[in-house]
Amino acid sequence: MKHLKFGIYSFLIMAILASCSKPAESIQVSPELFHKSVDKVMEIQIHDIFSPPVASRIFVYPNIAAYEILAQKSSKFKSLVGTVNELTAIPKVDSTQQVNLELSALIAHMEVSKSLIFSEEKMEVLQDSLYNVWEQANKVEFDASKAYAFDVVNHIKQYMSTDNYNQTRTMAKFTVDTDDPTRWQPTPPSYMDGIEPHWNKIRPFLLDSAQQFKPEPHPEFSLDKDSKFYEELMEVYNVSQNVTEEGDESEPVQIARFWDCNPFVSVTRGHFMFATKKISPGAHWIGITKIASRKTNSNVEETVNAYTKTSLAIADAFISCWDEKYRSNLIRPETVINQHIDPDWLPILQTPPFPEYSSGHSVVSGAASVVLTEIFGDNFYFEDDTEIPFGLPIRSFKSFYDASTEAALSRLYGGIHYRAAIDNGLKQGKNLGHFAADKLNL
Amino acid sequence: MIKRIVFIFLIIVSCSKDKSDKVDVENNVEDATFINVSSDLTGIDFSNDLQSNGQLNIIEYLYYYNGGGVAVGDINNDGLDDIYLSANEKPDKLYLNLGNLKFKDISVSSGISQDATWSTGVAMADVNNDGFLDIYVCKVGNYKGLKATNELYINNGDNTFKEEAKAYGVDFSGFSTQSAFFDYDNDGDLDMYLMNHSVHSPYSYGNAELRSKSDALAGDVFYENISENNQTKFVDVTKQTGIYNSAIGYGLAIATADINNDGFMDVYIGNDFHENDYLYINNGNKTFTESSDKYFNHTSRFTMGVDIADITNDGNLDIVTLDMMPYKSDIFLKSGGEDSDKVNQIKKSFGFQQQYARNHLQLNKGNHFVDASLITDTYATDWSWSPLIFDYNNDGLNDLYITNGIYKRPNDLDYINYLSNFDFAKYAETTQDSLELKLINTMPMLNLPNALLKNKGDLAFERTLVDENNTSTYSNGAAFSDLDLDGDLDIVVNNINAKASVLENKTSQSTDNNYLSINLFESNKSLNTTGAKIYVYADGKQFFKEQSTIKGFLSSSTRQVHFGLGNITKVDSLRVIWKDRTQSLLTDLKLNTIVNVNKGETTNYNYESKKEIPFNVFNYEHKENSFLDYEREALIPENLSIEGPSVVQADFNADGLQDLFIGGARNQAPVLYMQNKNGTYSIKDIPAFHLDNIYEDVDAIAFDIDADNDLDIYALSAGNDHKEGDPMLEDRVYINDGNGNFTKLNSNLLATNGGTVSNFDFDNDGLQDLFIGNRSIPGAYGLSPFSFILKNKGQNSFEIVLKRRFGMLTDSKWADLDNDGNIELIIAGDWMPILIFSYNKSTGKFDNKTQQFGLDKTYGMWNVINVADINEDGKLDIIAGNTGLNFKWKASVEKPVKIYLDDFDKNEQLDQLIFYDFFGTYVPFASKDKLVQQIPSLKKKFLNYNTFSKVETVFDLTQKNEADILETKYIYELRSMIYLNNGTNFKPQPLPKQAQLSTIEDVLVDNNQIIFTGNYYGFTTELGQSSSNPGGVISSSVKDNFEIVKSLHLPKDFSGRKIVKLKEGQYLVIGNNGKSYLVN
């Protein structure tokens, strides 16, 4: 709601400015417009239902496009060519043309985003309203900036098209081996296929390979009461039973729900089953990046820098995590508990449709928190209002690490992960985050 | 009146002239047999009005729009059936029949409760044996503010009733759907099965074991009638009878019948959702055994209504159950289809039986049923409630009337998407009611006309119009009765938010068909004859009906038993078999009257005791490895990895006895069976075979490859699970030492996914040449792999004389079809015609003579071909096994099934886009959800299901014209055929209908009979398994008139692959992924 008002407000200001008919003042691009474009992507992601790994890919390419445009003239930020795998230099801006790089960066951001989502018309609504204003404000600059932006967009689209995404669409589905008691099985209520079984074949952005941060193995599956696995299994069950007793208002339930970040929760009511949608774990951390950028009054290039580097770490975190998920193929707590302990048990959060180990939210939160700490500093207090549109309250955190620890633990409270997936996942993410931060010279 | 009808008829015809040639029942106005008589004329102004509110609506109660029932029966014994209509949110109504379709509302004077409790099913039965019909009304009690107990109205005999449910012990309060009163222990009084439903939504499928857990509100209950000193009393004997009474029983459908013809009434319970339907076979000792698995290969999934009657006039009771599959293409594409293959697999692993979300027409085969809903086109009538099987046009064949309609359509996928975008953050306690109402208001509505399916005989039904106005309604319960006593059966239908329909049947005026109506009485007053069997014998035919009233949905129909007789003018006799195992025989019956049969003098009747004949198992079991082709290629219709086993019959050790080589699936070694002198077989251990257990065999031949006068083996490897060139697909040759000891020939053979191998010395050089036909390019279903004709050059060397992409081959044969001395090679497979290539001695080449032989339009899904002179005219005919007609796809030369093969999304993998004719409109075979997974760009093009539902061509889908597509293939013919050779070309003749009930996988011709085996489990869940005919024998008594003469004695779900004749009168039938059997 806030953003919408801002939009109308800036529209009015610009309209007024335009009507003053001073010749050709340069178009001002505020960091808020970048937030708005990112918010729009997030909103469409929710509508179109992208799985968490795919959502992370959708964030990163528009950011790279915007970043590379700005880096050309930046004193502070260097191009990612040579750092990001296989990325080549974008077309150079023609200095004879009246190109506003910040404007080109924003146009490129929206345009690359549009090509990655499905509901293009939702992005076009935003584009059209802005294009109108800019065209009236300074047509020459707008046209030149747009033309340059589209050159870059084509370059980035070409780069995007070689990351193996299209090929992974039609690779074999994940075959469930129903005879192996340790292997992952589809879970209620929609019993969806395991999503993105070939995500480790996506070209990583910073990593040498998907396996680079392979976590240590999880405790071996066992129903022996003295085994480590069984101990962790019972921890999930007992925590969940306690939390359920404490009720919806208890801290663990609040934490679990706050960090649910499941883009597709199936709900059954009466005759039908439908999904309630939320943002993905990656999107939540993109939201935190926005909060930090705003709090520090970051300018356009600082804002784009924060988005770009955080989204690069998140995207690689998903590749790393999914690599492990379909290597270990571990069964979810819900399946084991229903089979062997309590047939009526339901986790507080709905089990998402992919193998258990390691926890995606833990890996992603670990990686994002390191990069954000390197950009904005440690002990960065913030109030996280990312989940307000989904009816959840604001939570405040002392630091990014504080938030990532809580995000990881939320999976245990939610009944969808064992302890090892959380602890080792967070470690996996932080190691990856440090590697990314080093490589990005943070 | 008549003038007015003609006028309407003209208007409708003239309005619809410009319509295309789509199958559209709306155009067949002249067929309308019924007149929807207005309530002003009938006096029946009942309407089941529903007004959703925040407390109670389809979100809070999933059966909110299931509607009300109809019971017809003669409550005052004046010969006219009266009508009871149940309502959900209004009082029920009782109407007295005054004759000539005039009715009087006696709801108040009769003492029927006029409160607005939620009534569901209603039954009329003489509960207390006093000669007057009583009424039992089911209620939803104890749920979301609904409070009620079921009611039993005892008839006082003067058009008034007294509610005595409590006194009789049947004042159940829970989630009742419908009751069935029948005599389960043959003691002369009526017991009651009370079917209840569940109200919770299934979150997880749980385990099927949950059905053993009792539930007091949702579980079914059985009451035994214990009458003492003229005092009727019911006691709950649920536990003792052994029926399930759990909360996973979503009981919506009930009918009773003597399914297995042993004199004891059995019960069919249709359950909604994932729970199986139940078939309770009466053990005759006051217990039931749930036997659905034993009797059915699969049932409908969301079963809503059931009726049981003889549809084929073979004296066996068939079963129709209804589901919710749409028949309009746009609705179909917008609604959820079958379960995904994965979910289907999961449900099975949880212990649930195979179910499909479509109507079922289960043909009674004596000791089991086979579904014939697809071959009869009765499988899709939209969201359907009430099936009524009766002969509406008095032509001697039972027809099918079906009510349908859901007032709000919760399975509309766009609506489900809308829900998903709904802001549930606001879904708090306080706003819940208003939000739900908003959600319900946006839920799509669609009313359709009810369906009338006219039985044309020989498993053919024709969709025809019910009434001349083709009225669209939301209809639930329905019952039939000859309300105006004019000799044809009228229908009463309970509608939601509309007046109940009284459909007057005009058959007796418009046709000369004859009929016979029968009333049964045990003594002059007792009405408890339910379950009596009536056989009418006339014109060499037998007509059979069982007296039963509980049928359809929430309803009970007339007690009068009505036989249409067509143009039969004389009935030889009529036999009634009473429940107490006595019978009455009547002769000299006058047609077109109502016959009152009083039990009176009877003779004893003995039911044949049926012994189950055990299957004769042969000691070979094929074990298929698990590989799901459609996980690798999501758009394909069938699994090609389950094609074996192979079998070769030959004398391997030159002892004059035919031995057997059987090649197994992957991880199963081939087995050699040597025949002993006494006709038994012993397994001979061959080390080379064990070493080769990693290969999957689909075909093999025995011939003397090395010219040492013994039979060697060429084994064709397949499996579709490895890429071409993979060593796992390499064929093998086993060299015989003359004594049946085999060693593997060390050579490089083809590593392709094989389909068929055959041998013949086509160039007459004394060396056996080979044809190797391949099945597929693994990973690229649809494309034709190379197949090869190999010339034997001697010394184990072969030369390729022809290499061509013929198609996806399954079988090949060599024969001189035109008796010209030149051999022909006949090959067949999927998406291709039966091809004929003739060897030309002078050119040394093979000429394609398919068109000359008249087979160029035979594109099919051929599994097997055989060549034999079946009609003994000296010319070789072709018998070809196809997919059959009991299949979701329909095909003809005019409307073929099409498969478009191309890499539409340019991601280096082949996409298969299949289109088929769905009730007159082409539709894509793959769902939108599946398509967008494979071709993500389609998600941008089709943002909602509504736009997708308009897709009729590959251009609509991909913007590519047919001509620009890499390859397009067709199916014109799905029938299994005989092609009769008239010397120069072939005359097509389909195998009899019963042989089209499933795929035919192998055909043997012996003693001028065709012995076939079939069934196939490789189709995706959306197409469904083919399992309605494991095998049979076809013969012709009259020239070229082929008929099924018997079924092979095989398990009902047997998936046959090969037939071999072992000796005179004994055949070995080898199955895929299962046992093998000896049959005769």
Which candidate, B889, B863, B865, B891, places its Cα nearest to that of B972?
A: B891
pLDDT, mean of residues A172-201:
85
pLDDT-based confidence at residue A267 (cuts at 50, 70, 90): low
Question: Between B392 and A338, where is the model more confident?
Answer: B392
Name the 3-class secondary structure at A185.
Answer: coil
* Cβ neighbours of A49 in B, within 8 Å: 420
pLDDT value at residue B781? 97
Asked if the model's pLDDT at residue A17 lies above 50, the reply is no
Asked if the model's pLDDT at residue B745 lies above 50, the reply is yes
Of A166, A172, A277, the CB nearest to B905: A166
B938's enclosing H/E stretch is helix B937-941
| Tens digits of residue pLDDT in B353-387 | 999 999 999 999 999 999 999 999 999 999 999 99
Closest CA in chain B for residue A43: B421
pLDDT, mean of residues A301-324:
98
Give which of B58, B63, B420, B422 to mutate to test A binding, by max A Cβ within 10 Å.
Answer: B420
pLDDT value at residue A9? 39
Neighbours of B714 (CB within 10 A): 23
Torsion A281-A286-A291-A292 (CA) sign: positive
pLDDT value at residue B59? 81
pLDDT value at residue B337? 80
What distance in Å separates the CA atoms of residue A40 and residue A34, rounded to the nearest whole number? 10
- Please tell me if residue A274 touches chain B, with a CB cutoff of 8 Å: yes
pLDDT value at residue B430? 61
Q: Would you tell me which residues 368-427 of chain A have a C-beta closer than 8 angstroms to some C-beta of chain B?
A: 389-391
| Shortest CA gap B594–chain A (Å) | 45
* Cβ neighbours of B631 in A, within 8 Å: 172-175
Using CB atoms within 10 Å of the CB of residue B355, give its burial: 0 to 12 exposed, 13 to 18 middle, 19+ buried.
buried
Q: What is the 3-state secondary structure (H, E, C) of A314-370?
A: HHHHHHHHHHHHHHHCECCHHHHHHHHHCCCCCCCCCCCCCCCCCCHHHHHHHHHHH
B201/A271 Cβ within 8 A:
yes
pLDDT value at residue B524? 64
Q: Which two tokens stand for residue B807?
A: 């198609």
CA atoms within 13 A on the CB side of A218: 29
Q: Which two tokens stand for residue B870?
A: 């079946």
> B455-465 in b/e burial notation, b at 16+ Cβ within 10 A?
beeebebebbb
What distance in Å separates the CA atoms of residue B672 and residue A201, rounded to the nearest whole number? 46
Using CB atoms within 10 Å of the CB of residue B53, give its burial: 0 to 12 exposed, 13 to 18 middle, 19+ buried.
middle
Name the 3-class secondary structure at B25.
Answer: helix
Q: Are B59 and A272 in contact (CB under 8 A)?
A: no
Q: Which of A74-83, B158-167, B901-910, B1049-1058 is the least confident region?
A: B901-910
Asked if the model's pLDDT at residue B4 lies above 80, the reply is no
Helices (runs of H) and strands (runs of E) counted in chain A: 15, 4
Closest CA in chain A for residue B302: A271
Q: Would you tell me which residues 41-60 of chain A have a C-beta closer than 8 angstroms to some C-beta of chain B?
A: 47-49
Question: Between A90 and B15, where is the model more confident?
Answer: A90
Under DSSP, the state recorded for B146 is: B
pLDDT-based confidence at residue B10 (cuts at 50, 70, 90): very low
B634/A173 Cβ within 8 A:
yes
Torsion B336-B337-B342-B345 (CA) sign: positive
Which candidate, B1012, B289, B990, B442, places its Cα nearest to that of A274?
A: B442
Torsion A428-A430-A431-A437 (CA) sign: positive
A119/B411 Cβ within 8 A:
no
A191/B202 Cβ within 8 A:
no
Please state the ipTM of this predicted complex: 0.77
- Please tell me if residue A297 touches chain B, with a CB cutoff of 8 Å: no
| Tens digits of residue pLDDT in B586-634 | 999 999 999 999 998 899 999 988 888 999 999 999 999 888 898 889 9
Asked if the model's pLDDT at residue B1 lies above 50, the reply is no
pLDDT value at residue A176? 67
**How wide is the angle at C-alpha B65 spanned by C-alphas B59 and B67, nearest 5°?**
150
What are phi and psi for residue B128, nearest 5 degrees? Answer: -110, 15
Question: Between B432 and A36, where is the model more confident?
Answer: A36
pLDDT-based confidence at residue B1044 (cuts at 50, 70, 90): very high
Distance of CA A64 to the CA centre of its chain: 15
Q: Are A348 and A413 in contact (CB under 8 A)?
A: yes
pLDDT-based confidence at residue B11 (cuts at 50, 70, 90): very low
Bridge pairing between strands B176-182 and B603-604: unpaired
Q: What is the 3-state secondary structure (H, E, C) of B959-1003?
A: CCCHHHCCEEEEECECCCEEEEECCCCEEEEECCHHHHCCCEEEE
Mean pLDDT of chain B: 93
* Cβ neighbours of B62 in A, within 8 Å: 270-271
* Cβ neighbours of B905 in A, within 8 Å: 166, 169-170
What distance in Å separates the CA atoms of residue B249 and residue B107, rounded to the nearest whole number? 33
Q: Are B896 and B859 in contact (CB under 8 A)?
A: yes
- Please tell me if residue A186 touches chain B, with a CB cutoff of 8 Å: yes
CA separation, residue B139 to residues B121, B122, B170, B200, B507 (Å): 8, 9, 12, 17, 36
Asked if the model's pLDDT at residue A5 lies above 50, the reply is no
Q: Which two tokens stand for residue A262?
A: 């499941």
Query: Could you report how far apart the first and last alpha carbons of chain B are, in Å?
Result: 63
CA separation, residue B323 to residues B92, B196, B219, B269 (Å): 27, 18, 22, 14
* Cβ neighbours of A386 in B, within 8 Å: none
| Shortest CA gap B459–chain A (Å) | 34
B420/A49 Cβ within 8 A:
yes
Closest CA in chain B for residue A270: B62
Q: Are B793 and B800 in contact (CB under 8 A)?
A: no
Q: Are B993 and B458 in contact (CB under 8 A)?
A: yes
What distance in Å separates the CA atoms of residue B917 and residue B376, rounded to the nearest whole number? 16
DSSP labels for B384-440? EEEEEEE-TT-SSS-EEEEEE-BSS-TTBHHHHHHHHTS-GGG--TTTHHHHHHHHH
A175/B424 Cβ within 8 A:
no
**Cβ pairs A/B, distance under 8 A:** 98
> B869-908 in b/e burial notation, b at 16+ Cβ within 10 A?
ebbeeebbbbbbbbbbbbbbbbbeeeebbbbbbbebbebe
pLDDT value at residue A266? 66
- Please tell me if residue A1 touches chain B, with a CB cutoff of 8 Å: no
pLDDT-based confidence at residue B208 (cuts at 50, 70, 90): confident
A269/B426 Cβ within 8 A:
no
pLDDT value at residue B442? 84
Using CB atoms within 10 Å of the CB of residue B830, give its burial: 0 to 12 exposed, 13 to 18 middle, 19+ buried.
buried
Q: What is the 3-state secondary structure (H, E, C) of B26-94?
A: HHCHHHCCEEEECHHHHCCCCEECCCCCCCCCCCCCCCCCCCCCEEEECCCCCCCCEEEECCCCCCCEE
Q: Which of A18-22, A194-198, B71-75, B366-370 is the least confident region?
A: A18-22
Q: Would you tell me which residues 190-209 of chain A have a C-beta closer than 8 angstroms to some C-beta of chain B?
A: 191, 193
Of A186, A191, A276, the CB nearest to B424: A276
B933/A189 Cβ within 8 A:
no
B907/A186 Cβ within 8 A:
no
Of B60, B628, B933, the CB nearest to A175: B628
Torsion B522-B527-B532-B538 (CA) sign: positive
CA separation, residue B118 to residues B221, B305, B645, B1047 (Å): 19, 19, 58, 49
Neighbours of B345 (CB within 10 A): 17
* Cβ neighbours of A346 in B, within 8 Å: 203
Helix-strand-coil split of chain B, %, nearest 5: 10, 40, 50
| Tens digits of residue pLDDT in A373-387 | 999 999 999 999 998
pLDDT-based confidence at residue A189 (cuts at 50, 70, 90): confident
A186/B346 Cβ within 8 A:
yes
| Tens digits of residue pLDDT in B269-287 | 999 999 999 999 999 999 9
Q: Are B439 and B423 in contact (CB under 8 A)?
A: no
- Domain range A177-439, its CATH number among 3.40.50.720, 3.30.43.10, 1.10.606.20, 3.40.50.300: 1.10.606.20
What distance in Å separates the CA atoms of residue B952 and residue B383, rounded to the nearest whole number? 23
Q: What global pTM score does this model have?
A: 0.90
What distance in Å separates the CA atoms of residue B704 and residue B724, rounded to the nearest whole number? 28
**How wide is the angle at C-alpha B115 spanned by C-alphas B109 and B119, nearest 5°?**
105
* Cβ neighbours of B349 in A, within 8 Å: 178
Asked if the model's pLDDT at residue B205 lies above 90, the reply is no
Asked if the model's pLDDT at residue B579 lies above 70, the reply is yes
Per-domain residue ranges for chain A? 31-166, 177-439
Residue A187: CB partners within 8 Å, gap ≥ 6? A332, A334, A335, A351, A353
| Shortest CA gap B409–chain A (Å) | 10
Q: Which of B18-32, B447-461, B1055-1069 is the least confident region?
A: B18-32
pLDDT value at residue B294? 97
What distance in Å separates the CA atoms of residue B997 and residue B1044, rounded to the nearest whole number? 12
Closest CA in chain A for residue B413: A274
| Shortest CA gap B1056–chain A (Å) | 26
What distance in Å separates the CA atoms of residue B977 and residue B991, rounded to the nearest whole number? 5
The angle, 0 to 180 degrees and rounded to 10, between the axes of the packed helices A300-328 and A101-116 is 30
| Tens digits of residue pLDDT in B851-907 | 999 999 999 999 999 999 999 999 999 999 999 999 999 999 999 999 999 999 888
| Tens digits of residue pLDDT in B56-98 | 888 888 899 999 999 999 999 999 999 999 999 999 999 999 9
Neighbours of A161 (CB within 10 A): 11
Phi-psi region of B263 (alpha: psi -120 to 50; beta: other; left: phi over 0): left
* Cβ neighbours of A391 in B, within 8 Å: 424-426
Which candidate, A294, A290, A295, places its Cα nearest to that of A279?
A: A290
Of A47, A167, A191, the CB nearest to B421: A47
Asked if the model's pLDDT at residue B20 lies above 90, the reply is no
pLDDT value at residue A442? 77
pLDDT, mean of residues B825-847:
96
Torsion A342-A343-A349-A351 (CA) sign: positive
What distance in Å separates the CA atoms of residue B797 and residue A26, rounded to the nearest whole number? 82
A32's enclosing H/E stretch is helix A31-48
What distance in Å separates the CA atoms of residue A340 and residue A347, rounded to the nearest whole number? 15
pLDDT-based confidence at residue B200 (cuts at 50, 70, 90): confident
| Tens digits of residue pLDDT in B512-564 | 999 999 999 987 667 789 999 999 999 999 999 999 999 999 999 999 999 99
pLDDT-based confidence at residue B494 (cuts at 50, 70, 90): very high
CA separation, residue B122 to residues B3, B67, B479 (Å): 38, 12, 11
pLDDT value at residue A273? 57
* Cβ neighbours of B203 in A, within 8 Å: 188-189, 268, 346
* Cβ neighbours of B424 in A, within 8 Å: 276, 391
Q: Which residue has the tokens 């979503």?
A: B250
B647's enclosing H/E stretch is strand B646-650
Under DSSP, the state recorded for B446 is: B
pLDDT value at residue B982? 93
